[in-house]
Amino acid sequence: MSPSALTYRAHASPDTPRNRGPWVNGFLALFGVLSLLPRLPFLTLRFVFCRPAGAAYGWFLKSHLIKSVGQWTGLAYPETDAEATAVPRPIAPFGNVMKLVTMDVVRVPAAPEEWCVGYAEPAPIVPRAERPGFILSPPGAALGTAKAVPGEKLVFYIHGGAYARGHPMWSPFAPKLARDTHTRVFGVQYRKCLTDSTAYPAPLLDALAAWHYVTVHLGFTPSNIVVTGDSAGAHLALALVLQLSALDLPLPGSLALASPWADFTTSFASWKRNQDDYLTKSRLDNCIKSIVRHYNAGAVRHPLFSPALADAGHWTFLVSVPVFVSYGTLEALEDEDKALVDGMRRDGVAVEVFEDKGGFHDGPITGMNEDVYKRFAAAIEDQLKQIAIKATTDGQ
């Protein structure tokens, strides 16, 4: 499907859910926790006697707690600019990793107007915007905003959060990657789809702005960049490379995707089969309505939004870009991730897959199983090495 297959509404969809303020969400989260209490005896007995697969990683009861809270809370209230620039309260413990890396906060200029066409053509009230960026520099690497030296690699990280919440620094994932790969990591705090002026394609505009910043302002060669993302961040990573290809711009050296959100129809069987996962279909359906509020009916099936449903030939633009995909065998997105991988391989893309046995959504990010993070980080490190080998072979 071409960019012209996506068309905008004259006004935002009337089905767009309303945002709830932090106090309302806090009250509903408390209600969700309280509603879990009567079910705890049953869940505990099931945990002890049935030993669900997720129990092997200590996830089972935690997952139900998260789900009980999440199914009651609505779309978050939009963050202020100060909140976007600050380091948020973490969703997983950081330990001492920040003692080993240096963090710089930068202002990323809005994406060039000439890049904002096709898939990234702004909706009538969605402007291009300046955004905060976070650069994490490990010992031995160039620091912060220093220009890239010839051959220097970069990890370009796009965080998840269903396009409704999230931050590059809301988990230790990015600083750990900088530490473990000995490579600078860059993340942008893209706008969340919570208002008419920040709904899609705002996140794509911000990802393009970040890409322009690292390739033009910092001077990184695109083929020396590993683009990685988790969940909605992986979804946005796929949208980014799709737009770069449409603009006939150089693509990154590789992609590493954790639990990519790949289907906005929420129609795959694993949504019913893997109900122990902490993701809730009702909450994601609300997020989807908020994300696509400016698009006409049928947009959710377009490969920009549902890459798992892409027709044959869609992924041929990625045949020269190695891809790594990880997902949990108990996560709600399992089947759409398999469909995404199958579609890429059908079109000749080299895809390596890691199945997190007994794992739930976003295993490398949540911190519940360090081995899963290590496997993902090792894959990125291997991609960085392969980029270096290819550069040597090509005489870069």
Quote the CA–CA distance of 74 and 164 in Å, as a whole number: 10
| 3-19+75-394 maps to CATH 1.10.150.20 | no
- pLDDT for the residue numbered 57: 57
Q: What pLDDT is attached to residue 2?
A: 46
Please state the φ and ψ torsions of residue 91, each to the nearest 5 degrees. -90, -10
Model pLDDT, residue 151: 95
Does the structure show a pLDDT above 90 at 174?
yes
pLDDT of residue 396: 56
Q: Where are the beta strands (DSSP E) in 218-347?
A: 225-230, 254-258, 323-328
Rounded to the nearest 5°, which phi and psi values hold at 17?
-70, 155
Q: Is 256 exposed, middle or buried (0-12, 13-18, 19+ CB in 10 A)?
A: buried
Q: Where are the domains of the chain?
A: 3-19+75-394
**120: pLDDT confidence band, cut at 50, 70 and 90?**
very high
Is the pLDDT confidence value at 1 over 50? no
259-298 core/surface letters (b: 16 or more CB in 10 A; e: else): bbbbbbebebebbeebebbbbbeebbebbbbbbbbbbeee
pLDDT value of residue 268: 98
Report the phi/psi class of residue 6: left, alpha or beta, with left for phi > 0 and alpha for psi in -120 to 50.
beta
Average pLDDT estimate for 345-361? 95
pLDDT confidence bin for 53, thresholds 50/70/90: low
